[in-house]
Structure 1
Amino acid sequence: MTTHHSDVLIVGAGPAGLSLATSLAQAGFSATVVEQQSDSALAAPAPDGREIALTHPSRDTLQRLGSWGLLAGHEVGTICEAQVHDGPLGQHSALQLNTPQTPEAAAPGALGFIVPNHALRRTAYAVAARTPGVQIVTQAQVTRAATLAGHAELDYVPAGTPDAPPQRLTAPLLVAADSRFSATRRQLGIGAQMSDFGRTVIVCRMHHALPHGNVAHECFGYDRTLAVLPLPDDPQAGHALCSVVVTAGAADAAALMAQSPEAFAAQVQAQFNDRLGPMALVGERHAYPLVAVYAQRFAGHRCALLGDAAVGMHPVTAHGYNLGLAGVERLTAALVSARQRGQDMGSADTLAPYAQGHHRHAWPIYQGTNAIVRLYTDARPVPRLLRQLVLQGARRLPPLQAAIVGQLTGQPPQWMRALALRP
């Protein structure tokens, strides 16, 4: 009999992989996370410009795991309203989205929350590193991942030493959580559908003179898309802060990155029609190529995919990490259920409910997001007209607006939940 290193091997110590390790350990399983980076890089990750919008269920998961309570007050922002603009700001009336006011509340509640990516990474590592049952193997380069009849195997060498003899880990189940360009997914023989939008996302922080009122804006220009997301005030200087996300073609994005901080801020301020008054860049700009990914399957015999390795989303609807955390909950539940029934935790039958449920949840969001992006970045006359019809329909049809708000908050209306549960 093979002596397994742990119940589950997880490749990738991003916030999804670490959250899964913590969730499994809290449920009584042992988990080993294998990661290329060092302990110090995981404990204190550098800011990367990305701000992550979280739904209410995602916040609940992070609270259950214990990482939410480790976030500093200035790292958690609240989005109370979202406005969607088509074309130049002010040319057409915006679609306004907020949660309905209830008799118990004096005002509508939060649509969602916004947290820096590096803060989510830091807190996920802090909790996982101190959780009994979790082991984190750092500075490890995975050289082989394979599934056998009775177990999964993972070979790795210390990072920077490609000629060193590999070390092997085994477990009943292997989970790939190592980015949308997952090498582990490829080694497991699982393909993925990739949508390269041929565009680049530029993310940064900016301070501004006028208050943002906790309102998020998505401005669909015909050449560039601009998102302005409300952040908590700067804890040192007290300035009002926002996250700015500019999506542009590769050449345009390169030109924007080459501009001086002042010129770039002036461009953003002008595109946002001076809504927040004078704006200034805070810190660095970061650029990322825009590629969406959807794996051909989310699980198989002795393997599963999680986070961006399963679904790498376009950021426009802010569902990427929310899908990752939903996957953590669904995969943990599948393994707990298998243990209660005495089933092999790595069998295809055990993992099928996770794969099927996650696909039913993610597929409509993924396809809908990609359709929105293509529609709202097409400058031809017919798509322009269709955009206006969509926005007018959402404004005039409360059920449609409620459905959009439900997707933003992670709390869809009852009729949408019923559809999602249908086989």
Structure 2
Amino acid sequence: MTSAAQPAPADQFDVAVIGGGLNGLTQAIALARHGISVAVIDREDPARATAAGFDGRVSAIALASQRMLDAIGLWRHVSAAQPMWDIRVSDGDSLLFVHYDHTDIGSDPFGYLVENRVTRLAQQAALADCPNLELIAPMTARHIDYGAAGSGAPAVLDLDNGRRIGARLVIGADGRQSAVRREAGIRTIDWSYNQTGIVCTVQHELPHEGVAQERFLPAGPFAILPMTDDEAGRHRSSLVWTEPTERAAAIMALDDAGFVAEMRQRFGTGYGDCAVVGPRWSYPLSFMLATRYAGHRMALIGDAAHGIHPIAGQGLNLGLRDIAALTEAVVEARRLGLDIGRSDVLDRYERWRRVDNVVLGAVTDGLTRLFSNDIAPLRIARDLGLGVVNRIGPLKKLFMRHAMGDIGRLPRLLKGESLV
């Protein structure tokens, strides 16, 4: 508890965001664009976080999420984005598949594939447009005192360099191992899939035509995500290749020739001659859902609140939807003259997001368990299911709207609308 003898924080902000990754900095920029003063405390040095070897992943940004990034002035700094025109889902070598064609529902793409590094660089560029946003990095908060509920006092953050910051609201955007969540005593529901995602970039002879492919193999999904061509005009795709953890470790330990040979067995021949370019990365795959997203002067977003299997490529989009909802709740409360850290303001955010996150988490978990095996009856059933979905127009269009993030009661930012 904060005592009367303690000195007041030297620096007062409306919001303090813990974690300056893809979700944290985007949340800060969204709030700053709407007149909220924000401090971001991030343990990573920005120069390291934007280096080529830091994060090799490519993220699918659904059309609704792209609208939000555009509305907050971030999208214009994105230097390279590959439109996702079609999605093809298949079960191994089965002749039955689902083909989602964007022209069936309009002229817009389903979304865009953007390298995480490109998004991080865009965030750094957007900071120059936000004079009311301060990035404090590399730095950690060694203690957060939220004060007594109902006291009206701000939260106080003690940083490792001795600086003290006051904030009406603290947002935890510090990932699956969130210290903010842990110190708030919020429990999680979680389990490991005993799978590892292998990520690498493949250069290939033939163009991908903006088609994202998801192939369900017995070991797990094998996604081929279209990327923009490189500076020399060579075609590229990002692989998200799932294997059981022990086998993934053995594959990662192979030399370049052995790794490429394993990759080619799964990649197929539809793209012509292909080769792996650049480094390889691997990440453990698990499920996590926080039992609460908010408390007194505290809210969780992104991976601090939930983590799902990448089987549907929706992980970042869930975080971006959190950001849109929390920004709207905070900005509206501020406009009404309310304390933005009040429980009822944050409860509105939690109610808005919980159902969407739980439902998508359950769907991705079910798909992972259904498709990550080679049991004959299940294989036959799921192949027939893919064939049925491919033939029923209204059902296909519903799934396509989901892929675009265009379903449900959307926050205004996801519609591309400003909150001003």
- The unaligned stretches of length 5 or more in structure 1 are 159-165, 419-423
Letter in 2 for 1:232: T
Are residues 146 and 347 of structure 1, via their aligned partners in 2, closer, same or farther at CA, if it must alter by over 3 Å? same
Tell me, yes or no, if the aligned pair for 2:206 and 2:271 is still in contact at 8 Å.
yes
Q: Which of the residues 14, 19, 29 maps onto 1:12?
A: 19
Distance 1:381 1:42 in 2: 45
Q: How does 1:390-401 map to 2 (within 5 A)?
A: 390-401=385-396
- The corresponding residue for 2:401 is 406
CA RMSD of aligned residues (A): 2.0
CA deviation profile, 1:256-293 (whole Å, cap 9, x unmatched): 11222233223222223312122101001101111222
After alignment, is 192-201 or 336-345 more displaced?
336-345
Distance 2:219 2:324 in 1: 39
Q: Secondary structure at the match of 1:115?
A: strand
Q: How does 1:163-182 map to 2 (within 5 A)?
A: 166-182=162-178
Tell me, yes or no, if the aligned pair for 1:228 and 1:243 is still in contact at 8 Å.
yes
Are residues 42 and 128 of structure 1, via their aligned partners in 2, closer, same or farther at CA, if it must alter by over 3 Å? farther
Letter in 2 for 1:277: G
Distance 2:200 2:15 in 1: 37
CA deviation profile, 1:331-364 (whole Å, cap 9, x unmatched): 1111121123222211110111111111122221
Q: Secondary structure at the match of 1:5?
A: strand
Tell me how far 1:76 sits from its aligned partner.
Answer: 0.9
CA deviation profile, 1:132-168 (whole Å, cap 9, x unmatched): 111111121222234222332322214xxxxxxx443
Distance 2:165 2:352 in 1: 29
Distance 1:272 1:285 in 2: 16
Q: Secondary structure at the match of 2:406?
A: coil
Are residues 206 and 39 of structure 1, via their aligned partners in 2, closer, same or farther at CA, if it must alter by over 3 Å? closer
- The corresponding residue for 2:98 is 95
Q: Secondary structure at the match of 2:269?
A: coil
Q: How does 1:64-83 map to 2 (within 5 A)?
A: 64-72=71-79, 75-83=80-88
Are residues 306 and 129 of structure 1, via their aligned partners in 2, closer, same or farther at CA, if it must alter by over 3 Å? farther
Tell me, yes or no, if the aligned pair for 2:97 and 2:387 is still in contact at 8 Å.
no
How many residues of Structure 1 are paired with residues of Structure 2 in the alignment? 399
Q: How does 1:241-320 map to 2 (within 5 A)?
A: 241-320=236-315
Distance 2:391 2:184 in 1: 48
After alignment, is 50-59 or 120-129 more displaced?
120-129
Tell me, yes or no, if the aligned pair for 2:48 and 2:54 is still in contact at 8 Å.
no
Tell me, yes or no, if the aligned pair for 1:43 and 1:126 is still in contact at 8 Å.
no
Tell me, yes or no, if the aligned pair for 1:146 and 1:187 is still in contact at 8 Å.
no
Q: Secondary structure at the match of 1:6?
A: strand
Structure 1-normalised TM-score?
0.89
Structure 2-normalised TM-score?
0.90
Q: Secondary structure at the match of 1:291?
A: strand
Tell me, yes or no, if the aligned pair for 1:79 and 1:214 is still in contact at 8 Å.
yes
> Does 1:222 find its partner at 2:218?
yes
The runs of at least 4 consecutive aligned structure 1 residues that moved more than 6 Å come to: none
Are residues 19 and 358 of structure 1, via their aligned partners in 2, closer, same or farther at CA, if it must alter by over 3 Å? same
Q: Secondary structure at the match of 1:333?
A: helix
Q: How does 1:8-407 map to 2 (within 5 A)?
A: 8-42=15-49, 44=51, 46-72=53-79, 75-87=80-92, 89=93, 91-101=94-104, 108-149=107-148, 150-158=153-161, 166-236=162-232, 238-407=233-402
Are residues 224 and 44 of structure 1, via their aligned partners in 2, closer, same or farther at CA, if it must alter by over 3 Å? closer
Identity of aligned residues (%): 32
